[in-house]
Structure 1
Amino acid sequence: MSTLTFADLGLAPTLLQALEELTFAAPTPVQEQVIPMALAGQDVVGQAPTGSGKTAAYGLSVLQQLDVKVDAVQVIVLVPARELALQVRDALKKLGKYLPNLRVAAFYGGHAFREETASLKQAPHVVVATPGRLLDHFERRSIIPNQLKVLVLDEADKLLELGFQDELVEIIKRLPRRRQTLLFSATMSDKVLELIRKNLTRPRVVNAGEDTDELPENLTLLGHVGTLEQKPAALLHLLNQPETGRALIFCNTRERCAELARFLHGRGVAAEMLHGKMPQPERDKALMKLRNNSAQVLVATDVAARGLDVTLLDTVVQYDAPDKADGFQHRAGRTARAGAAGTAHLLATPKEQAHVQKWPIAEGIKWTPMHAPKLPPAAPKAPRPENVTLHVSAGKKDKVSAHDLVGAFVNVGGVGRDQVGHIEVFDYYSYVAVPRQLAPEVVERLLGAKVKGKKVRVSVVE
């Protein structure tokens, strides 16, 4: 086993300080290999599965190469989904915490352009973006990449799978030729290999395994076989078990998502849904409710769940069997992350079971007959979780932090410090979870209150 430390990889003291604070003990294999090559200015191709530490591998490398005194976009990270853009932006901010005046911005579709152009008054050093939105900025000349040092293509296989090929060609055309390119992909399809051949110069290749090679060690795989008609009752039975905890349910279509969320609501389960056609604020709200325990269950399609950042997810249920092995791996691997234990269930008809059993990755599934007790009658009211989420009309752009919100909720809102739940601060607004019975009083007390000098409105998120 390697005994290398982050200091051995040639990282600057400012980055080492942040790593120590984030309790990154030792580099992962992909970090050990990528960081020295990237710091040496080489193009790198990394085949790396989810959870291998690739974001920090390229993140630390690009942050070290920044000149924060220069007001220009020096790094662009392209990602396939909006959730991943936010996740990467936040990770880079944490890793670069001790770089003075570091500016990292995330740009993605699904919300007003003016919100993004406001944050471009001063050029960010690092831009994390989805291809379509970045191209829009190039067209409007709100981002001019003439001083770019590094391009990172993250989850290249997914970028191509989601049809971003033309946008990638157009974006790369507009970048300086003298630049470093780092590409990461879970799988190496012919399309990915062609992308590498056309856009990288003598790349060094790092192989940290395919996504389809393995699942998390602490993951229990359970398969339940029965008829299509038994699936709703079997799902409800699983969700009612105390050990199920917070669950993510995968469906193959938007229609199935909506149908299942309605069914669960009617049976007393606090369920939210997430699919590609939902407006961005609705997606944010659904995810936030799962994270802060105002919902027990999120029913999602694969596209919507790509790059989801929901830590400590207890259970995954694949309500519909996926078409491909890598889809199975992606879904099941959303739980049992970062060393925690988790369970992945698959509800399958005999035909679906026969299909799934062909995949090596599904060998570890323990199959049992579907347990589908008689369904209870639909509940007259939707479930009421213990927590409720409050919307606060101030965010990062108002210089408001989670610490400021805790202060306001405790000192003005009368909430006990230990009763303030999960807080999420976005650019123009924030979400705070509080116990349901306190919510009306908190809203009343905070009427007209100021946070960081700004008068805020607080309302319950339904």
Structure 2
Amino acid sequence: MKIKHEAEMVTESARNADEAWSALGVPTVIAKALLEQGFREPTTIQTLALPPAILGRRDVLGAAETGSGKTLAFGIPILHGILELKRREGKLVSSASGKFRERSLDEPESSSDEADREQMSDRGSSGLREKLPDLRKRGIGLVKVIDNVSIEGFDDDTPKPTKPLYALILTPTRELAIQIKDHLTKAAKYTDIKIAVIVGGMAAVKQERILSHGPEIVIATPGRLWELIDEGNPHLSQINSIRFLVIDETDRMLEKGHFQELHSIIERVNSKDSSKRQTFVFSATLTLVHELPDYLQRKKIRNSRSKIYKLTPGQKLQKVIEMLQIKNPKVIDVTKGTGTADNLTECRIACTIDHKDYYLYYFLKRHTGRTLVFCNSIGCVKRLATLFGILNCEPLPLHASMPQRQRLKNLERFQANNNGLLIATDVAARGLDIPSIEHVIHYQVPRTSEAYVHRSGRTARAQKEGITVLMMEPSEKHHYSNLCKTLNRTEDLPTFPVIDRLLIAVKERVNIAREIDKLELTCRRDNTKKSWLQKAAKEMDLLLDDDEFDHPMEEMETADTKRQLKARRHQLEKLLKKPFFPKNFSGKYLDSSLQISLEQNSHKAIDIMKQAIEERPSLKKKVTTSVSKRKNIATRKGLRMVKKRREINL
């Protein structure tokens, strides 16, 4: 009876979930796939976006925090719309069983279809033979149809697309494009809708072969897409007649001066009537307006008649509407004003530029969990990846100069490791849905508030908690101020608590790792120089003695460098095995008799930060009380001194 009751409850739950999706206009075949993925009910942005998009077929401009389900908010209406278009365009053919099914243009006919066709042909032929005498009496003859006649002047050698292109989805990064393709493929599991992804860093020939199969949905980055369009790809020649257009997480790219390829694509899309097209624009920072750059601010101050001004959120949306020729849009904004999710804890660490490595290593060793570190430049990513590789932190770099295969491989490794460390530029900032990222660390303060919001959005996704730490040096203060101003922050971000006494051990390890990095670089340069001389001599057919390659002084310097490198590696190896953080260490008291191990602290970074935030008011009260006490003491001392002087004068 208990098992039967549980089964009934599961069935009832599934029925309710199905009804929740069906009430928004989601087709049964798509709802079934969503339920299998565990999506029991729509998110806020999906609840608000799906009815006007599916039932009202309106264009949608959506702003929602990262991790709120924006991909399905535009993906489901597109899948529904394509299914409806295919049904209306009569792509359903009958079979001998009396049922209807869809058949593509190049699909061979089955035996049942052939039987139906022959049967219909026989019926038509017999009927025609019966009517033939009557037709001849009326002076009507037969016409033979020839469909392979070549007429001069009307032939066109350019290949024609055999299948329609219904939807185009544009994304700023390759990884986001691949992720969207995975999400939509799962949602379209019980349909025959074909989806293709076109991104740079992969073989263009292979992608052309994929397009030759006629996918109904193309997800692409602007650069590679425009390259294929410019080369005259037949399937992509239909982009000016697409029925669905999505601009995902690319609100900044639409601004003047950003991504010329994207503007060229939009011009091509807008070259035909857009009244039949449905457009979706989604981003976490769609209504976020950033401050003017310094050079534009100075230009505005110099010229009082300058037309340079900061856009309002409404003006920003209006520009997007005009550029994409959107008509009667549904604007949905579920952001909280700060741009970040409610379950995200924000904090900062103020330090000098030399000490950033210390604090980052401290954080990684003290707090376990999947960590994503953001840098502003590729050079910084490479340096940190090398340094923390020497410290045995197993970092995974990710930046635009890496081959695409390696980028995807590093992302897979990062997702597979619960304590993984990914060091990346902003290519990993927008849209990537990597499960269970606990910490996001801004090693360098982002230049724009949009970058901060998108970076921080890699954690605290799907109702989970997360923490973002901003590491700030004095020269980055103006970027931090602009960020706070744009995000309407009236107070500084709280400071992440760090135990200064434990930084001594951290500094020793990091400093030795830096020395090893420098010595390895010197050795690589020496080896490169030697191999270059040998290669040049070989190409010129010159025979050189060993003495000409290695001078005695240079040999001694190289040998000395290698000895130092070996000694430093041995020293670091011993240190990494030594005590670091005490087991169950609270940080309030440090007992020198404790034997310290390399085990990380059991407390999570987010819990420590929450506790510090809760204690902040009490700390302020304590500070205020102590200051007032000091003032009272100073006042009393001053009164005594004045009294003594008066007595002396008397």
Q: TM-score, normalised by structure 1?
A: 0.74
**Equivalent of residue 174 in structure 2, options 82, 85, 90:** 82
1:98 is matched with 190
1:150 is matched with 244
**Equivalent of residue 59 in structure 1, options 72, 75, 91:** 75
Residue 82 of structure 1 deviates from its aligned partner by 0.8
SS across alignment from 1:183: strand
Does residue 184 (structure 1) correspond to residue 288 (structure 2)? The answer is no
Residue 64 of structure 1 deviates from its aligned partner by 0.6
- Greater gyration radius: 2
Contact 1:250 1:318 in 2 (8 A): yes
2:45 is matched with 30
Residue 174 of structure 1 deviates from its aligned partner by 5.2
- 1:152 maps to amino acid: V
Residue 353 of structure 1 deviates from its aligned partner by 5.2
Distance 2:397 2:370 in 1: 14
CA offsets, 1:284-310, max 9 Å, x none?
122122112298211111134333232
Distance 1:84 1:319, change over 3 A: same
Identity over aligned pairs, percent: 32
Contact 1:83 1:309 in 2 (8 A): no
**Equivalent of residue 366 in structure 1, options 474, 494, 500:** 494
**Equivalent of residue 268 in structure 1, options 381, 392, 413:** 392
Residue 141 of structure 1 deviates from its aligned partner by 2.0
Residue 23 of structure 1 deviates from its aligned partner by 2.0
1:170 is matched with 267
Does residue 141 (structure 1) correspond to residue 265 (structure 2)? The answer is no
Residue 126 of structure 1 deviates from its aligned partner by 0.9
- 1:59 maps to amino acid: G
Distance 1:262 1:202, change over 3 A: same
Contact 1:160 1:192 in 2 (8 A): no
Does residue 329 (structure 1) correspond to residue 453 (structure 2)? The answer is yes
2:520 is matched with none
Distance 1:305 1:43 in 2: 26
Contact 2:431 2:454 in 1 (8 A): no
- 1:316 maps to amino acid: V
More strand by share: 1
Distance 2:418 2:332 in 1: 40
CA offsets, 1:213-257, max 9 Å, x none?
24233322231122111111111111112x332111111111111
2:469 is matched with 345
Contact 1:270 1:295 in 2 (8 A): no
Structure 1 stretches of at least 4 aligned residues deviating more than 6 Å after TM superposition: none
Distance 1:211 1:103 in 2: 37
SS across alignment from 2:401: coil
1:375 is matched with 508
SS across alignment from 1:145: helix
Residue 75 of structure 1 deviates from its aligned partner by 1.1
Residue 361 of structure 1 deviates from its aligned partner by 6.0
2:359 is matched with 234
SS across alignment from 1:366: coil
Contact 1:212 1:329 in 2 (8 A): no
Distance 1:310 1:361, change over 3 A: farther
Distance 1:201 1:306, change over 3 A: closer
Contact 1:247 1:314 in 2 (8 A): yes
CA offsets, 1:241-283, max 9 Å, x none?
2x33211111111111111111111111101111122221221
2:325 is matched with 200
Does residue 131 (structure 1) correspond to residue 225 (structure 2)? The answer is no
1:443 is matched with none
Distance 1:329 1:152 in 2: 21
1:428 is matched with none
Contact 1:135 1:171 in 2 (8 A): no
Match runs of 1:285-296 below 5 Å:
285-293=409-417, 296=420
Greater alpha carbon shift after TM alignment, 282-291 vs 184-193: 184-193
2:345 is matched with 220
Contact 2:66 2:461 in 1 (8 A): no
CA offsets, 1:143-202, max 9 Å, x none?
232662211122231432642443333332456633222222332465653231143342
Residue 44 of structure 1 deviates from its aligned partner by 2.2
CA offsets, 1:5-46, max 9 Å, x none?
221112211111112112222222322222122223222222
Residue 105 of structure 1 deviates from its aligned partner by 0.8
Residue 364 of structure 1 deviates from its aligned partner by 7.3
Distance 2:492 2:44 in 1: 25
2:563 is matched with none
Distance 1:171 1:298 in 2: 38
- 2:340 maps to amino acid: L
Aligned residues: 379
Greater alpha carbon shift after TM alignment, 36-45 vs 188-197: 188-197
2:647 is matched with none
CA RMSD across the alignment: 2.8
- 2:168 maps to amino acid: I
Residue 351 of structure 1 deviates from its aligned partner by 5.0
More helix by share: 2
Match runs of 1:354-433 below 5 Å:
355-356=479-480, 358-359=484-485, 360=487, 363=491, 365-368=493-496, 371=500, 372-373=503-504, 374-376=507-509, 377-378=512-513, 380=569
Contact 1:46 1:184 in 2 (8 A): yes
- 1:213 maps to amino acid: T
- 2:217 maps to amino acid: V
Distance 2:418 2:64 in 1: 34
Residue 74 of structure 1 deviates from its aligned partner by 1.0
Distance 1:355 1:75, change over 3 A: closer
Greater alpha carbon shift after TM alignment, 252-261 vs 211-220: 211-220
List alignment gaps of at least 5 residues for structure 1.
384-462
